Structures are given as C-alpha cells and as structure tokens.
Amino acid sequence: MTRLRAAAPPVSPAGSGVPIAKAPTYVAGVDEAGRGPLAGPVVCAAVILDPRRRIRGLADSKQLDEAQREQLYPKIIARCIAWQVVFVEREEIDRLNILWATMTGMRRALAAISPAATRAVIDGDRVPPGLPCPATALVGGDGLHAAIMAASILAKVSRDRHMAALCARYPGYGFSRHKGYGTPEHVAALDRLGPCAEHRRSFAPVRTRLPAHERDAPVQEGFDMAPEPA
C-alpha cells in the first residue's frame, strides 16, 4: 500500500532547517465615487480586507442607505488590513478629463496603501495604467467582491461628507442633498447662482452657464471613450 506524506516546507538556503515563511498575499479592492456629478471631486479608495475579521453587511454602496454606509465605514477601517482614500479635485478633473482623473485616483490609492497589495481587483471594465501590482478589472465588482464593496463604501462616505462641508462653504446649491449630481434642484441653482469654484468646467451643463471668457475647457459629454492624456 502506498502511503502519502505531506511535503516538507522549504528550508532556508543555508540549510539551517528553518522553514522559509511564505509571503502573505494581499488582495486590494479598488473603487470610486463621484464620476458623474457636475461638482466636487472624484474619490477613489483601496481596501485590503482581513479574512479573519469578517464585516457583516458589506454590499455595493449604492444599494445601502446613508445610515448603513456610515455604520459600516468605521468597521471597515477598524477591521481591514489596510485602506486608503484619495481625492482628485475639480481642477485636475478638468485638466485630465473625468476618466483619467478616476484612473489617476485609483492608481494613487493603490500605490499609497500599506502593506502593499500583491494583487488588485478594480471595479469596472478597465485597469488603470501604471499600477504597482498585477490587477484585473471586474464589471459590477462593487456587488460581487467584498474588498471592492468595502472600497466603494469608503469612497462614497468620504465624498458625501466632503460635499456636506462644501454645502456650508457654498450655500444655495444644495450640495449636501444631491452631492453635486445634476438634479433639477442643482440645475436650477446653477441657473440662479452660476457655477462656483467646485463646478467642473469641462462638463457641458456647467460650461454652458459660465461667462463667455471662461468657456475654454474642453467639453466632456461622456468619458467612456476619452483618450488618455499625454
């Protein structure tokens, strides 16, 4: 009868008999919040979850209400291995275009996370160039992959809090309610007050409401086919 024996762990090159520790695998989920709004930053987050510390209730941030997201936010930070949130401000969005501003934010978030990720899973259909580790894109990942769910919640809560602060700085636009999205309330405020410093000049609904001498930014009707900036 043949007996199976487990393979011995590798030993150090010096032959000391001390097993070589296997390098840990850290998978980061990466997502964003705020690609579509007419105002404010796009916010990107990267999260490495700890498989030993489960977080109940994770889901796509868009499927959770504000109270649920706020409850999960501190749990994610407390129980994950690492996390990072990056803001890409309005000026950079207008300079790069929204697609490449988002790609840049994702790259910065992943590059700043510590310990470094050994692999990343990106929500969406494309992988940002220049990432510090191998990565795959996952369409609908914020509803499929736990680490992306966690990243989506951190990004969404961080951005929503920021927009609430902008509401106090720029009263009259209703940023705390619509978070910068092009709702009827927001468009009516744009017509009444004109764009503020946080409005994305390269977005058509904003640009058309700028004074003529400020209409020099390329218009972004959409971002899916936008070319990579030089």
Spans of all domains in the chain: 27-172
- Please determine, for residue 15, whether its predicted confidence score (pLDDT) is greater than 80: no
| Rounded Cα distance, 145 and 59, in Å | 9
pLDDT, tens digit, 9 for 90 and up, residues 72-119: 999 999 999 999 999 999 999 999 999 999 999 999 999 999 999 999
Residue 8's pLDDT is 45
Confidence (pTM):
0.85
Residue 12's pLDDT is 54
**Mean pLDDT throughout 223-228?**
42
Q: What is the DSSP string of 160-215?
A: HHHHHHHHHHSTTS-HHHHTT---HHHHHHHHHH---TTB-TTBHHHHTTS-GGGT
- Please determine, for residue 1, whether its predicted confidence score (pLDDT) is greater than 70: no
Confidence of residue 225 (pLDDT cuts 50, 70, 90): very low
Residue 21's pLDDT is 65
If you average pLDDT over every residue of the chain, what do you get? Answer: 89
Residue type for position 134: P
| Rounded Cα distance, 226 and 219, in Å | 11
Residue 212's pLDDT is 79
| Rounded Cα distance, 69 and 154, in Å | 8
Confidence of residue 213 (pLDDT cuts 50, 70, 90): confident
* CATH fold of the domain at 27-172: Nucleotidyltransferase; domain 5 (3.30.420)
CB 161 within 8 A of CB 175: no
- Please determine, for residue 18, whether its predicted confidence score (pLDDT) is greater than 90: no
pLDDT, tens digit, 9 for 90 and up, residues 125-184: 999 999 999 999 999 999 999 999 999 999 999 999 999 999 999 999 999 999 999 999
- Please determine, for residue 5, whether its predicted confidence score (pLDDT) is greater than 80: no
